[in-house]
Amino acid sequence: MVENANITAYMKSKGFDDYETFYKWSLEHRDEYWDDQAKELHWFEPWQKTFEWTTKPFFKWFVGGKTNIVYNCLDRHMDTPVRNKVAFHWEGDNGETRSMTYEQLYVETNRLAKGLQNLGLKKGDRVAIYMPAILEQIIAVLAVARLGAVHTVVFGGFAANALRDRIIDAQARLVITADGNHRGGKLIQLKNITDEAVAETPTIEKVVVFNREGLDVSMKEGRDIYWHDLLADIPADTVVPCEQMDSEDLLYILYTSGSTGKPKGVVHVHGGYAVGAYATTKFVFDIKDNDIFWCTADVGWVTGHSYIIYGPLMTGVTSVLFEGTPAYPNPDRWWSVAERFKVTILYTSPTGIRGLMRFGEEWPAKHDLSHLRLLGSVGEPINPEAWMWYRHNIGRDELPIMDTWWQTETGSIMISPTIIQPLKPGSATRPLPTIEADVVDKNSHSVGLGKGGFLIIRHPWPSQMRTIYNDPARYQTYWETLPDVYFAGDAATIDKQGFIRVQGRVDDVIKVSGHRLGSMEIESSLVSHPAVAEVAAIGKPDELKGEHVKVFVILKNGFEPSDELAKELKLHVRTTVGALAVPEELEFTPSLPKTRSGKIMRRVIRAVSWVSRSVIPVHWTPEHKTYPYHCVPDYKNRSRQNLVCSCFYSRGHIHLVTM
Ligand code: PRX
């Protein structure tokens, strides 16, 4: 396996047989490495320069090159045996199945592209995609990008307000949605939610509706059109040539949470993103011709963009797309999908594993998972218990687990083992080639082995976000928080062997079941309720979800705390942000700790709330101490200078960041 690994073949072509020497070489030959990767893809016109800073921290990759990521996902395979290969095996929530070859996907993408063109869609226009995990969701993404338009996929679990805000920020002209769909047996009324959102979005001209469930939804005359009507007269041999895009032209905007109430529109481009997604899929998952690859994420998150759609399609592999939930109707649903489609590579999240662990080992044991050869994990730190369970019950105690660290902003995997390297439970191990990751102090100086600090990357890479849509200043903060480096927002350590352990966020991002939420998004939702004066939202350690949301609420005069009001407030979050953001705990409080300038000190609240002791903040520093969850020392009697300024929870331990 190691001899035949894709990464081994590349290393050998450069004259290396061990990863560490090769990695060091890659840091000094960054352009050569990325040129080699990019040359495996199709370019309408070659690039003149591999990398260029424009005005720091803005940069370009493959300068002057012309390509289209969709050409690399589909057209390029039409002259090869991949044409007749299954691109996706799909399984619906209710158990129905469908498979689509690369050729069929090509045909349907062209037909939809033609339909969208008939609606007037053109290069540069923005399109919101609010769909369930069905093959048409993939077709929609590919058709939009084929035309050179920009997609913004919104996770189907987001509520109307969240969809509205994203449409408004992106100034989308079109929404592609479905009437509704079932997930875990529950009906989600996607078209109704879309109608509510679109009622307040001045830029939307057309709503394309895929009829998934045969629901009787309202169709607004002149605005709404059914997918099948749009495509009715478009023959199967229709070809809409891929728009020839500059490497740096926008491919998509994906909204993610940050430390303000407004989600950030992370911008990715055709050239560099394609190269990054392609190279990482090929090397980390070691994709081979006969693999069946299953990434269990939702297309609404970056993992779905890079490792359900773009990366796998560029490598020509067969993938699985699943509409349902892991434990519906029974806790072996995932294992049954993996068995029936003979999945060889499974890429999932620690939350998914923990969620299924609690039902017991007997559920995976019922299934033949012998086709599996490689496992992956993403989204949050994987605790050793989950790692061991995954390896034992799914990986037969022998399969490698790729713990992959990356972010919406990084576009593709940054830190991960490949199958030729040693593994360590709970560690994403080593950076991928050319990725100059380090753990540093507030001056961007390496803290050295064994110490805690901030996780950073010293140089741009091709699939990195180019900006925050409509907000370049917000993009700049990634490179300005710590001098001259990309600051990821995570804390980490590098152990004595040089293995990186990512510990968790050091900002106000909350990770619920691996999904990213901003404290301020939840707070803004709650303060829009008439009873609420002020709110602080924090993440609290949760054995299953990694973190859950806890809110502290100050009521306006004239309102009294009650269970009914607490329920109503939770429902308010559900209907304005989405089920994902609903606080598990809600505490009414008469006051909240604030700075002199009146800013709520969430880190203090977090610390106090976690350790139930009075903790007062001081200055920020990466020095931190780690304690088992229930043994955090009492800070009550210490002088202010020694107190905690932040804390985070990781793998059963509380980390207190102190001076
Ligand atoms: O805190 C890190 C955590 O997820 C954050 C990025 O979240 P998002 O943009 O939603 O992307 C998730 C999927 C790529 C990171 O800042 N994270 C992601 N992967 C890992 C991780 N933490 C520890 N280990 C990982 N493997």
pLDDT in tens, 48-86: 999 999 999 999 999 999 999 999 999 999 999 999 999
For position 107, what pLDDT does the model report? 98
Q: In the structure encoding, which two tokens stand for residue 191, read together?
A: 């078209």
Residue 597 confidence class, pLDDT cut points 50, 70, 90: confident
Q: How far is the CA of 379 from the centre of ligand 1 (A)?
A: 4
For position 656, what pLDDT does the model report? 53
Residue 655 confidence class, pLDDT cut points 50, 70, 90: low
Q: 547 in ligand 1 pocket by Cβ < 6 Å?
A: no
Would you say residue 627 has pLDDT above 50?
no
Average pLDDT over every residue of 634-643: 38
Would you say residue 647 has pLDDT above 60?
no
Q: How far is the CA of 555 from the centre of ligand 1 (A)?
A: 34
Q: How far apart are the first and last CA of the chain?
A: 48
Q: How far is the CA of 302 from the centre of ligand 1 (A)?
A: 10
For position 642, what pLDDT does the model report? 37
Average pLDDT over every residue of 139-162: 97
Domain ranges of the chain: 513-592, 611-659
pLDDT in tens, 473-521: 999 999 999 999 999 999 898 988 899 999 888 888 899 998 999 888 9
Q: What is the mean pLDDT of the chain?
A: 91
User: Who's near 610: CB < 8 A, 6+ residues apart?
Assistant: 540, 541, 632, 647, 649, 654
The full 3-state SS of 74-123, as one line of letters, equals CHHHHHCHHHHCEEEEEECCCCCEEEEEHHHHHHHHHHHHHHHHHCCCCC
* Ligand 1 mutation pick, 511, 545, 648, 649, max ligand atoms within 8 A of CB: 511
Q: 393 in ligand 1 pocket by Cβ < 6 Å?
A: no
pLDDT in tens, 273-283: 999 999 999 99
CA atoms within 13 A on the CB side of 326: 19
Q: 648 in ligand 1 pocket by Cβ < 6 Å?
A: no
Would you say residue 638 has pLDDT above 70?
no
Q: How far is the CA of 515 from the centre of ligand 1 (A)?
A: 9
Burial tier of 358 (Cβ tally within 10 Å: 0-12, 13-18, 19+): exposed
Q: What percent of the chain has pLDDT over 70?
A: 91
What is the torsional sign of CA 289, 347, 182, 185? Answer: positive
Would you say residue 633 has pLDDT above 60?
no
pLDDT in tens, 195-245: 999 999 999 999 999 999 999 999 999 999 999 999 999 999 999 999 999
For position 612, what pLDDT does the model report? 39
Q: 302 in ligand 1 pocket by Cβ < 6 Å?
A: yes
Q: Which CATH number fits domain 513-592: 3.30.300.30, 3.30.200.20, 2.60.40.2140, 3.20.20.240?
A: 3.30.300.30
Q: How far is the CA of 595 from the centre of ligand 1 (A)?
A: 29
| More reliable by pLDDT, 626 or 19 | 19
Would you say residue 650 has pLDDT above 90?
no
